[in-house]
Structure 1
């Protein structure tokens, strides 16, 4: 049986300093594990790491099959505590150069949502879900 746990998400970076600067610019705190060749950011639920894409592909035993401007088929989500935080978070992202893909809007499922892309087109949703439940660290445990 595979343990049902996601503990680390790694984004393969084409330009690690640029991505690192973006995530620091939105106010995310790096861990003590960060270095010139690796960045790791604390989040409520998992560690988000950024690693050179060539090294990530080599470690996984695969070849890179896309560029930074192509959709990778994955999105990440930042679930916020209030409906107003969707809008304010998108404004903070806009200020540091994030590409807003979908402006904040009410969702058919009763919440509020928006999308942005980081400098390498990794997609992020910012969402407020009225039924979301978070633990004491701020990690989502149910929705």
Structure 2
């Protein structure tokens, strides 16, 4: 079974500092891990992260351009590392385009990427420091 939840929304930004400043001006609360290089904002059940577009390209192995993949990825965070592989099996069966097979991430977790029919980029991720509430909403990492 694939968890029906969106836990982290990542926007690939050309200028993280300026985009972070915009959300700060809205009065949005950030997590302690935020900086001008990578910012994370708390929302109602979903964390919004702002990540350098070139790093998102490196992580996913894709190059973003007009009319193609967008510089944004939706993340489904799971409870255990093996759930990344299990989720990708179901995603493959549903006919999604597999972008990057499950693998160990440089930051200590396990991730994989796929694209939906509209070429929106999705990540399945296990982060060893993720904290979820009783509903499965990500609270922090």
Corresponding pairs, count = 86
Q: What are the residue-to-residue correspondences of 1:97-116 with 2, within 5 Å?
A: 97-116=95-114
Give the Cα–Cα distance (whole angstroms) in 1 for the partners of residues 43 and 69 of structure 2: 22
* C-alpha deviation, 1:2, in angstroms: 2.6
Q: Supply the RMSD in Å over aligned alpha carbons.
A: 1.9
* C-alpha deviation, 1:3, in angstroms: 4.8
Q: Which has the higher contact order (CA 8 A, sep 6+)?
A: 2
Max Rg structure: 1
Q: Secondary structure at the match of 1:90?
A: helix
Give the Cα–Cα distance (whole angstroms) in 2 for the partners of residues 114 and 85 of structure 1: 11
**TM-score, length-normalised on structure 2?**
0.56
- Runs of 4+ aligned residues of structure 1 deviating over 4 Å after TM superposition are none
**TM-score, length-normalised on structure 1?**
0.55
Q: What are the residue-to-residue correspondences of 1:66-85 with 2, within 5 Å?
A: 66-67=66-67, 70-85=68-83
What's the counterpart of residue 137 of structure 1?
A: 135
Question: Deviations 1:85-135 (Å, cap 9, x if unpaired)?
Answer: 000000100001011100000111111000000011100010000110011
Q: Is there any run of 5+ residues in structure 2 with no aligned partner, and where?
A: 1-24, 29-41, 47-65
Q: Is there any run of 5+ residues in structure 1 with no aligned partner, and where?
A: 8-44, 47-65
